[in-house]
Amino acid sequence: MIKGRNVLLKALEESHLKRIYDILMMDDIGSTFSTTYKEVTLSGLASFLYLTEPGTISKVFSIFSDNEIIGFVTLNNIHPIRHNAYIGIVGIDPKYQNGMYGVDALRTIIKYSFDTLNLHRLYGHTFSDNPKMHTLYKRGNWIHEGTEREYAFRNGEWVGREIWGILRDEKEK
Ligand SMILES: CC(C)(COP(=O)(O)OP(=O)(O)OC[C@H]1O[C@@H](n2cnc3c(N)ncnc32)[C@H](O)[C@@H]1OP(=O)(O)O)[C@@H](O)C(=O)NCCC(=O)NCCS
């Protein structure tokens, strides 16, 4: 269990899966990270969240506030030699959005990644039409490292993908 200011991150348990699945399937959650999220089934959810490159591991956390699951965040591709990892997915139930839970969850996972896992670099990708996530990264001192133009075909049009990164020395003090 990792304690943030207003959230607790708990390692994913089987009893969390249904609630996380329901959040993933909500409008404007799954579509922000995947063009194929509707194909994910409840029984396939864990494999979807734990997806990882060969030679790396992933960690998945349920985001709790007041004993209730309000979202989830994944740390994928944790590389033991390169000391980097990928923020795969962060999603907050729309009922709780704009309450600074996203900022707090991201800050907490960054601190855990650098201070506990001794990682050196984190990176994340967001579709170009997600200004809120871009704000979240900027707010956390992440650097915009580039754009992959017309990365995916979604809802009948091409959408780009932004690459964000943060090094250990750049995290908020
Ligand atoms: C992105 C997400 C995780 C943010 O979590 P949250 O709890 O709603 O965000 P917070 O309340 O912690 O922070 C909101 C910040 O975004 C800003 N913001 C809110 N709406 C915004 C918008 N439409 N455009 C730009 N910034 C916006 C707020 O001003 C605030 O920044 P500030 O404190 O500097 O003012 C959440 O909205 C979410 O789950 N979205 C859907 C899934 C998603 O997009 N995930 C990322 C995919 S890679």
Tokens 């979240």 belong to: 136
Q: How far is the CA of 88 from the centre of ligand 1 (A)?
A: 16
| Ligand 1: nearest atom to the Cα of 96 | 7
- Among 9, 132, 136, 148, which is best to mutate for testing ligand 1, by the most ligand atoms less than 8 A from CB? 132
Q: How far is the CA of 161 from the centre of ligand 1 (A)?
A: 17
94-142 tens-digit pLDDT = 999 999 999 999 999 999 999 999 999 999 999 999 999 999 999 999 9
Rg of the chain over Cα atoms, rounded to whole angstroms, equals 15
Residue closest via CA to ligand 1's atom 13 equals 100
**Dihedrals φ, ψ of 141, to 5°?**
75, 15
60-93 tens-digit pLDDT = 999 999 999 999 999 999 999 999 999 999 999 9
Task: Round to the nearest angstrom and report the end-to-end CA distance of the chain.
Answer: 22
Q: CATH number for the domain including 99?
A: 3.40.630.30
| Ligand 1 pocket, Cβ-based, cut-off 6 angstroms | 28-29, 32-33, 90-92, 97-103, 126, 130-133, 135-136, 139
Q: Residue 19's domain spans which residues?
A: 2-170
165, 121 in Cβ contact below 8 A?
yes
| Ligand 1: nearest atom to the Cα of 101 | 7
Q: Give how many domains the chain has, as a whole number.
A: 1
Which pTM does this prediction carry? 0.94
93, 26 in Cβ contact below 8 A?
yes
CA 168 to chain centre: 18
Q: Is residue 74 packed enough to be buried (19+ CB in 10 Å), middle (13-18) or exposed (0-12)?
A: buried
Residue closest via CA to ligand 1's atom 7 equals 102
